[in-house]
Amino acid sequence: MKKVRIGVVGCGGIANYFHLPELAKIEEAEIAAVADIKEDRAKATAAKFKVPKWYASYGKMLGEGGVDAVIVATPHPTHSPIAVDAIEAGKHVMIQKPMATNVEDADALVECARKHRKVKVMALPFVYFDNPTIKYVDNLVKGGKLGKVCMARVRVAHGGPEKYQEGVAKMFKERAGETWFFDRKKAGGGALFDMGVYSITIATLLLGRAKRVSSFMGTIDKKATVEDSAAIIMEMESGAIAVAETAWTQARGIDEFSLYGTEGVAFWDTSLGTPVVRHYRSSDSSWVTPQLPGEEPLRTHRHFVECILKNKQPIGTVEEGRYLVQVMEAARRSSILGKVVKLS
């Protein structure tokens, strides 16, 4: 059986909690190498997952690590530069969200990917594109079951990344210090780029693209140089209005959205742990709560590996990733300037 040899750049929490455990369960994938600028993390992660090679330099891994593909799981502003280097080295790439923290870096990545079309590039977040509950609601919208959708509200938020980072430090027996998420120079942005990318993804997935953006952002609770709360108001090309909310300031992580149409409404939330969808049909004045299948385990990494082996374009293109960055950059500008920003 042919296997895809994968190298992971960045040995922090997202790699140790998500990427590496899932890759280890996929028969067609082989974790060939890991890299981290913190040498002790690279070495410990390699030992934990029985990875044959570890590097303190991702460039060295690209040159001599024997990898076919790379997963970029590093702080946000480094995603695009590392991905560009990997693509130019002929490696397939999966990029953690956000794909970039500014449109200029996103454009550089798009240009590079188009230049190397044989290389498969997958920009996260992929998680919602094949989510059974999101698919169900998307079919309601496309099938006209809600009538004309006029408004939507999406919220993806949690209590902040500091506890998560404390767990990572404990994993590597490091002293817990200030998290890079709270430093604008290291993170490029706050809750908007960390979690708001999910809210905007859901809103645009269900309602199409936005044409104008307005936003309010603030640092209300955290000792940070980035925003910990944000509300983004989007006027969609369809004429609908969508509000995308995000925060690092609530007691518990909950994802939810509401769609309001002329013939029905739909709600989705995760407050009970398992995602639940309810929708109301004005045609028969009834509420429907469908029983839907759960998410397929390993689906993100399985999809990436399958696309490489079968020469298919992954879901989550760099163009889609670039669009999300454009919306987030417009939201940031709107908050700073105090006015509506048009999307080109």
Q: Is omega for the bond preceding 98 within 30 degrees of 0, making it cis?
A: yes
Tell me the C-alpha distance between 161 and 182, whole Å: 9
Model pLDDT, residue 91: 99
Helix count and strand count (H, E) for the chain: 13, 15
Q: Is the pLDDT of residue 1 over 80?
A: no
Q: Is the pLDDT of residue 271 over 80?
A: no
Neighbours of 21 (CB within 10 A): 14
Model pLDDT, residue 178: 80
Model pLDDT, residue 281: 84
Bridge pairing between strands 229-236 and 241-247:
antiparallel
- Residue 108 dihedral angles phi and psi, to the nearest 5°: -60, -40
Q: What is the mean pLDDT of residues 75-98?
A: 98
Write the pLDDT tens digit of every residue in 184-214.
Answer: 999 999 999 999 999 999 999 999 999 999 9
* Beta carbons of 225 and 184 less than 8 angstroms apart: yes
Distances (CA, A) of 183 to 13, 24, 189, 223: 18, 33, 8, 10
How many percent of the chain have pLDDT more than 70?
99
- Residue 154 dihedral angles phi and psi, to the nearest 5°: -130, 135
Write the pLDDT tens digit of every residue in 230-267.
Answer: 999 999 999 999 999 999 999 989 899 999 999 999 99
Which residues of the chain form beta strands (DSSP E)?
4-9, 29-35, 53-55, 69-72, 92-95, 121-123, 149-157, 210-218, 229-236, 241-247, 254-261, 264-269, 276-281, 286-288, 341-342
Model pLDDT, residue 55: 98
Q: What is the mean pLDDT of residues 10-15?
A: 97
* Beta carbons of 84 and 113 less than 8 angstroms apart: no
Write the pLDDT tens digit of every residue in 293-341.
Answer: 887 878 999 999 999 999 999 999 999 999 999 999 999 999 999 999 9
Q: What is the mean pLDDT of residues 29-54?
A: 98
Distances (CA, A) of 225 to 13, 182, 299: 22, 6, 35
Tokens of 136: 């169900």
Question: Which pLDDT band, with edges at 50, 70 and 90, does 128 fall under?
Answer: confident
Model pLDDT, residue 307: 97
Question: What residue ranges define each of the domains in the chain, with the CATH number in brackets?
Answer: 4-127+300-317 (3.40.50.720), 132-294 (3.30.360.10)
Q: Is the pLDDT of residue 342 over 90?
A: yes
| pTM as predicted | 0.95
